[in-house]
Structure 1
Amino acid sequence: MDSEDEEIIRLLTDPTNREILTALNGTPRGLSVTEIAGQLSSADETELDQTIISLHHNYLPRLDEAGLVAYDHDENIVTTGHRSTDDADWMDVEALDELLSQFGTGRRPDEGTVGRLEGREAVYDYCRDLADRADDELFLIYASDELLDEECLPYAENAIDRGVDLYAGTKNRDAREFFRERLPEATIWEPQMDWMYEQANYPKVSRLIVADRETVVVGLWEEDATGAQTEVAMIGEGRTNPLVVLTRELLGARLDHLDYQSDEFLEGLPFET
């Protein structure tokens, strides 16, 4: 991990930085410094003024230098930075471990901690419950077809019936066909995220699930000395949870353009893809 990656990890361990990035999420026009300060502080005028000063002199310049935000000092406008949307290659298991080592872990997370699940069945159970809790959007990436489970389909179907938009991505052709046949109303696409597929050593990412952009499951394959492979998962809940913020920064605007990456869209183009 190079010095730029280390700086991003350090910045994301600060809860104020995570709150700033969360406030900017989904606001393509950006926010004024005053608007951001209003979301970080109370209505007390003195506290608001102090927050504005702190943002201007401390937090925003550092986030801007790292590329996580773009800060226009003259106009006092802040927008998402280029690393939030276009340059996610720094996100790997090493970086993830480095970030999560800064936080407490437990069986179930709160907004400031990262939870841990042991074993494939525990991960399945949590993900099924997550599908039941999703209100608007369920985003899935599978690194292979090994984890596809027929018993999970009713939970996905129920979510779709409730009006949840379901997106399923995998580079495995058989897995995409599995989703396409069994969940025809879902958006199916081939992710262009090599970091998830080109890991030579364990641990390796097994799956990534995001619900409503505020709950995240990152599954990891681990291998013991005998070569036996087991799955563990890290879970984050809440919009300012460190794992949730990191994942949103990783995926960036890709979450908003999945329809244009889907198999159905690409097959309809009048040229070879």
Structure 2
Amino acid sequence: MSSHPDTEMATALDVLAEPKRRYVLAALLDREGTSAGDATSVSASDPMSIAALATEVATIEYNCPIVTDDQCEEVHVSLVHNHVPRLIDSGVLCHPTSDDATRVALADHPLFALDWVQPLLADPTGETVPVDESTLNRTLTALRNPRSRAVCAALARRRGSVAVADLAAAVVAREGGDGTQLVDVTEAECRTVATALAHEHLPALSEAGLVAYDDLANGVELATDAPQWQVDWLADGPLGEAADLVRDAGDRQADTAETGTAIGESGTASTTPKMAGNGDGTDIRTDTCWTLQGRANVLDRGREIVDGADEELFVMVPTGEMIRPACLERWLAAADRGVDVYVASRSPRVRDTVRSAVPTATVCEPQFDWLTFPMEGERHGCVVFADRESAMLVTIDESGPGGEPRVGAITGDGRANALVSVVCDRLGPRLDRLTPIGDDRDGTPLPL
């Protein structure tokens, strides 16, 4: 018996978010002598009366081997009128015969084959995990809706607080499938999803402690310090993609703190600033800038800077080979959230492409080479500069062995950072003289 993974996840969370239903399945597994680690072998061979099952569930719920008749009766009523019918409708339980509604047994259902379900049913109250049961219940309840899971995955790709409208656009794109891009998302779709996020999904995720949601500021960010990320079966199951991203980010931070080296997805090391104590309990940078080697590392850093821009973003793109659809999507997303976007290039192709994809961007044509980067030749220079607080200078050497381009960069954060200060001195005054794009479609000269 097989089904779509999304359907399996939806069924599993609908069943397991309610603690009494977890207790029912755990009690029946224990009754059959089937360990959670061997839950794939369950069958409907050992029926149990609902009355006896109510007693087993009551002992789990009240955490006591001896329960009162009133406690058993209360649980029995809830099982008969609520939980057992729900479990039967879901196909997880069955009656041994069509004319016997007083007994139930485990059915042959794919839920029991899910790896992340097995440890949960082995510990249905969450005694062995670093969250209390009420938080566990709220977490499972919040994640029942696939949109809430999409929210966590989308936020895991962002740094810091994200505007709800921007988050809505990312969620719409994810829900649209692999072929849907941010540029395909309509304003009406964003408004509808943003309303649902603000009134339903974000409050539920916030109550579970998975996100920090400020409804007054209309911003939200992932709570990467939430204890749920340390629960292996949650990370392997409902939190899935988001947990992988959170763990990867944590590993990179740990590597940086210990060795000053971070490894990007290309496997190439990049030297990063080391941190040292200054005696008052805070940290200071001992290196003000760091270098990146490898296309993947440089791309990751560029995305981080662009996605983190709040007010102003400047990008210099020397050639058309350096611009990709994903770049245009991110620049458009920045412009849509109110960032002043400037794109400079001596390439007419680049300027025309940006004008078409990001209509509100100020498109610029540099008048001379900047920071000694040859704009034409074997080495190209690219600049990414956001909010006058984050900067990256990229070089691409196409004379490498086998014609494979060698990509490297130097980058820094903070207005006091040496690289950022240099870029501010050279570029900031020129940006101040530019006005948002008007009717001049020939490009605004940028005297770099």
TM-score bracket, shorter-length normalisation: 0.5 to 0.7
CA distance in 2, matches of 1:158, 1:266: 21
Measure how far apart 1:205 and its partner are. Answer: 4.1
CA 1:117–1:198 in 2, change beyond 3 Å: closer, same or farther? closer
Matched residue type, 1:142: V
1:90-239 map, 5 Å: 107-109=271-273, 112-195=287-370, 198=374, 204-222=379-397, 223-224=399-400, 228-239=404-415
1:249 to 422, 425, 439: 425
- SS of 1:255's equivalent in the other structure is helix
CA distance in 1, matches of 2:424, 2:443: 29
CA 1:189–1:128 in 2, change beyond 3 Å: closer, same or farther? same
Q: Which residue of 2 aligns with 1:42?
A: none
Measure how far apart 1:185 and its partner are. Answer: 1.1
- SS of 2:381's equivalent in the other structure is strand
- SS of 2:319's equivalent in the other structure is coil
Matched residue type, 1:224: G
Contact 2:315 2:342 (C-alpha < 8 Å) held by counterparts: yes
- SS of 1:163's equivalent in the other structure is coil
Contact 2:391 2:412 (C-alpha < 8 Å) held by counterparts: yes
Contact 1:140 1:167 (C-alpha < 8 Å) held by counterparts: yes
CA distance in 2, matches of 1:169, 1:178: 12
Query: Runs of at least 4 residues of structure 1 off by over 2 A?
Result: 104-112, 193-202, 222-229, 262-269
CA 1:229–1:268 in 2, change beyond 3 Å: closer, same or farther? closer
CA distance in 1, matches of 2:350, 2:442: 17
CA distance in 1, matches of 2:408, 2:432: 28
CA distance in 1, matches of 2:443, 2:380: 31
Compute the RMSD of aligned alpha carbons.
3.0
Measure how far apart 1:178 and its partner are. Answer: 0.9
CA 1:189–1:263 in 2, change beyond 3 Å: closer, same or farther? farther
CA distance in 1, matches of 2:439, 2:384: 22
* 1:43-68 deviations in Å (ceiling 9; x for gaps): xxxxxxxxxxxxxxxxxxxxxxxxxx
Measure how far apart 1:215 and its partner are. Answer: 0.6
Superposition TM-score, scaled by structure 1 size: 0.53
Measure how far apart 1:209 and its partner are. Answer: 0.9
Measure how far apart 1:265 and its partner are. Answer: 3.5
CA 1:198–1:263 in 2, change beyond 3 Å: closer, same or farther? farther
- What is the total number of aligned residue pairs between the two structures? 164
- SS of 1:194's equivalent in the other structure is coil
Measure how far apart 1:225 and its partner are. Answer: 5.6
Contact 1:144 1:206 (C-alpha < 8 Å) held by counterparts: no
CA 1:174–1:267 in 2, change beyond 3 Å: closer, same or farther? closer
CA 1:210–1:197 in 2, change beyond 3 Å: closer, same or farther? same
Superposition TM-score, scaled by structure 2 size: 0.33
Q: Which residue of 1 aligns with 2:434?
A: 258
Matched residue type, 1:235: T
Matched residue type, 2:327: C
Greater relative contact order, per chain length (Cα 8 Å cut-off, separation 6+): 1
- SS of 1:155's equivalent in the other structure is helix
- SS of 2:440's equivalent in the other structure is helix
